[in-house]
Chains A and B, each alone.
Chain A
């Protein structure tokens, strides 16, 4: 008797057709390789012939591999240049530009500053790397300046000396990252009600007090996003190392991504490289899950 109307439900199913190209592509390009990589991490393989199953041997080896632990500790150090310094700089700059420069000198000046600080972020890292490689050259700009101001004794082979290579690379990374934090924070500030600032000003709060009592607490979601995304990025640093130091000198700037690349394509220890990549992936997914949890909680609140 009752014939339920199935027209719309039938149509609903046809929406799935639109997912086919994307999902197939994703499976072939991302999911399948990811699984293959995981499988490879339990094998010994030179890239030709049949991989030999070795169980957890690659992971056991990692535990006692000085290069691996060195690369991990450098990643931790990169947290300073990828996350901590850019976030602090970004916050202060954003607050200055948004709450002071914009008031005093207008929107144009503040967006000009923003665009300029953001510029390094948008460049191909390799091109920036060529530039910095030249600046850090033993006969490059930095040493020439030092000599010029009478501090010639301080000049170094910045990228070629194990003591200075890591700080030098970090400086480049800070140069790249500040703009990203700045732009996200400024966007966050624009959603804060200006009345809050006016109220705080009338209450006698100075610029610094406003930064600490209003800007930072209200920017908490953006700070969280930036911290997590830059942490994830810190785990993946590759191009600057490849271009500036190739992991050297003496492994002083080795990072997991570079180590993986090195084992894949130089030593041909594919299984071992895959195992390092798996560790990186697990760490990234851990951070990413926190990030997504947070995002959906934010979305739920809106």
Chain B
């Protein structure tokens, strides 16, 4: 176990009567890349900004590198932040933007300039140092924002949706670049995003938030394989998990789907007989099969193919999405057989929505 770099204990945050963070506790290991995900308004930015010191907290303790920094203003916390809007200083050149923090520390102009040149090399900004932010493309501005954080060699990097203003292709590219940079610098990073793919692909540790509380945290695959609630299950994975109402069979070893023509599915484990549940089936775990032998026979409503993937949407209530990597020769109105990969049936209590 490596050492803890950031420790949040029982953080509370109120905006007037609104309770934005509710008893949030989180430990971040040195050198790890942690993603905060969750739907809009769940408190991700608030948590990150509290960590930065830009927002005051109503209760709890924040420690960075072992020191309680509750009462330390942002400029003395030695953390760097990359903003969604980049927040570059419009009146400064790229070099000046990069070195502003150094200049404040009193570092000589030529020394700062040399650091800026170094950073420009690592972030791919060579040759742009004397331009103004308005003369840069979105992606280049993003790099300046990154460079400005890196140049300080801070105790932690904080990112608030840094890629959401970029186009899809660039976003995918920058994802890798940021992660590579993180590894190269051996940095500790906290990364806020509402895009679960970003979180899954970039982070070592993913924290799912909902309404100001941490719903679940763990490694990306952990969250994918063992969501603790219907909320996490639906949030992680794309396309989203299918949810169907169901009832545990009398033997407790199978679940009956409340969908027309569906048999009961074997569970491979024991559950409370007769319990009302929500059954979660990931689209990629549904396999199109010969209707004669398949577990389910379902009418098809929509067929979409991207070439590499085929997405089938069924004409059932609720509808199901099936993802296939093979080409499927089906069209709307057909009936297809769907079998379910064993061991991939998720069960959630119908009322509490907790995983069973």
- List chain A positions with a Cβ less than 8 A from chain B: 2-11
Closest Cβ of chain A: how far from B115's Cβ, in Å? Answer: 28
Would A6 and B73 count as touching, CB distance under 8 A? no
Residue of B nearest to A12 (CB): B56
What are 26 A-B interface contacts by the 8 Å CB criterion? A2-B12, A3-B61, A3-B68, A3-B70, A3-B71, A4-B57, A4-B58, A4-B59, A5-B53, A5-B56, A5-B70, A6-B70, A6-B71, A7-B56, A7-B71, A7-B72, A7-B73, A7-B74, A8-B53, A8-B54, A8-B56, A8-B73, A9-B56, A10-B71, A10-B73, A11-B73
Would A2 and B55 count as touching, CB distance under 8 A? no
Which chain A residues border B264 with CB–CB below 8 Å?
none
Our pick among A2, A6, A9 for the contact of B10 (Cβ within 8 Å) is: A2
Closest Cβ of chain A: how far from B177's Cβ, in Å? Answer: 33
Which chain B residues border A7 with CB–CB below 8 Å?
53, 56, 70-74
Would B56 and A2 count as touching, CB distance under 8 A? no
Residue of B nearest to A3 (CB): B70
Q: B6 at the A/B interface (Cβ < 8 Å)?
A: no
A6 to B62, CA, bound (A): 12
- List chain B positions with a Cβ less than 8 A from chain A: 10, 12, 50, 53-62, 68, 70-74
Which chain B residues border A6 with CB–CB below 8 Å?
56, 70-71
Residue of A nearest to B76 (CB): A7
Residue of B nearest to A9 (CB): B56
Add 16 more A-B contacts to A5-B70, A6-B71, A7-B53 (CB < 8 A).
A2-B60, A2-B61, A3-B61, A3-B70, A4-B57, A4-B58, A5-B50, A5-B53, A5-B56, A5-B62, A7-B56, A7-B72, A7-B73, A8-B55, A8-B56, A10-B73
Residue of A nearest to B68 (CB): A3
A9 to B73, CA, bound (A): 10
Which chain A residues border B59 with CB–CB below 8 Å?
2, 4
Closest Cβ of chain A: how far from B110's Cβ, in Å? Answer: 33
Which chain A residues border B10 with CB–CB below 8 Å?
2
Which chain A residues border B53 with CB–CB below 8 Å?
5, 7-8
A11 to B56, CA, bound (A): 11
A8 to B62, CA, bound (A): 14
Which chain A residues border B70 with CB–CB below 8 Å?
3-7
A5 to B53, CA, bound (A): 8
Which chain B residues border A4 with CB–CB below 8 Å?
56-59, 70
Which chain B residues border A2 with CB–CB below 8 Å?
10, 12, 59-61
A8 to B53, CA, bound (A): 7
Which chain A residues border B61 with CB–CB below 8 Å?
2-3
